[in-house]
Amino acid sequence: MKLNRQLAERTVEIDDAIEEQVRAILQDIRQNGDAAVRKYAKRFDQYDGGFLLPRTQTGVDRERDIFEDRVIAAAAEQVDCDFVRILERAKTQIEAFHEKQIGGGFEIKKPGGVVMGQLVRPLQRVAVYVPGGTASYPSSVLMNVIPAKLAGVPEIALFCPDPNREVLAAAKVCGVDTIYKLGGVQAIGAAAYGTETIRKFDKIVGPGNIWVATAKRLVYGAVDIDMVAGPSEILIIADEHADPKYVAADLMSQAEHDTRARAILVTTSEKLIGAVENELERQLAYLGRKAIIQESLQNYGAAILVDSIDAAFDVSNDIAPEHLEVLLDEPMQYLDKINNAGSIFLGAYTPEPLGDYMSGTNHVLPTGGTAKFYSPLGVYDFVKFSAYSYYPRHALADFKEDVVQFAQLEGLPAHANSMKVRF
């Protein structure tokens, strides 16, 4: 089955006009530091204060540090105690899953005293971007900070233009080191290049609008980033036994994110498609983000009818969805058929929102078909690897002539000389 271009060739949106403006802001920040950052914070966020909300930053006045700890603690106390319990439970779940990702170092001892291996070292400074105000997501704090903590990152800072009490509570639960009341392109530029107030970071992670996503893409190279995320996506594989209520509800759970979100049903049952359409209409009547869901489904939703379950998985692997739900009986038996998906949800009682908050798997996922070559955010995103080797003289002698010939073949006489001078 050949997919239409809209599904097969999804790409991260690039707006040339936005890119030009973002590039100019980043250049200004690179050249003028704090002055430029303050200018754009005032222009875009109507914020003219300091950037720093410290918790445990070295060199910060201790009284200010204690005061700010109290501010964060006080904000957390204003959050419903049951929500704090939920945050703690989610943290436990996320830690239990991500702890299994720790590792990757090894050492090989070979004949003749040769030793080779791989070191795993954490990044030193990571910036986590979280949108502010009504768009704030405390779940994003958990999903980005916890893997970095498990990796051993010694300094993790949160950038948020308007951190509300739920975000502050999540930051407290996770043990964020510093919070910068700063958002937008100016936050990305400050984290990527550093200013008089903000030291340069090694990596920037976290969600944002098209301005933030564009800025992250443009600073990549000066700093590492998690990924350039596009609109949210869900693909559901279902047969005639699937409950249309579940299918419709799960499609809308992603469609409500954004008018550009993609919700796709792939099924062997034409009858199910009709039943899901009826359920979508029925359930939409009582959902608060009805207009967003309707526009998303109308412009980017799809129902694809296939003649076999194998064909359904072929379609899914071509699309490489961010979220894949398998609403089939005995869903575990189909894992071998899945090559490309960000996060996989198996069975009728593993809906995608469980993964957003509480299952323990990460909800920072590749979109736009990039699940063909990207992975979900994990501990491995916050470490780097260094190879090492040790050769005694007699072991090097065994490779001398081969290395010399290889170097001469490539026209690099100094490489060859480096070997010859030792003998």
- Catalytic positions, written as ranges: 322-323
Please count the other Cβ atoms lying within 10 Å of the Cβ belonging to residue 246: 18
Cα–Cα distance for residue pair 403/29, rounded to 1 Å: 47
CA angle, 186 as apex, 185 and 192 as ends, to 5°?
90
Contact yes or no for 249/223 (Cβ under 8 A): no
How far CA 233 is from CA of 54, 151, 228, 316, in Å, comes to 36, 28, 14, 12
Phi and psi of 381, rounded to 5°? Answer: -80, -10
Q: Which of 367, 360, 365, 386 lies closest to 150 in space, CA to CA?
A: 360
Residue 305 in 3-state DSSP? Answer: strand
CA 221, distance to chain mean position in Å, is 17
Instruction: List Cβ neighbours of 255 (8 Å cut-off, separation of 6 or more).
Output: 261, 263, 292, 293, 296, 297, 301
Which residues sit opposite 119 in a β-bridge?
386
The most distant pair of C-alpha atoms in the chain lies apart, rounded to whole Å, by 83
Instruction: List Cβ neighbours of 236 (8 Å cut-off, separation of 6 or more).
Output: 247, 250, 251, 264, 265, 266, 324, 325, 327
Cα–Cα distance for residue pair 288/315, rounded to 1 Å: 32
Cα–Cα distance for residue pair 363/377, rounded to 1 Å: 8
- Report which DSSP code applies to 102: -
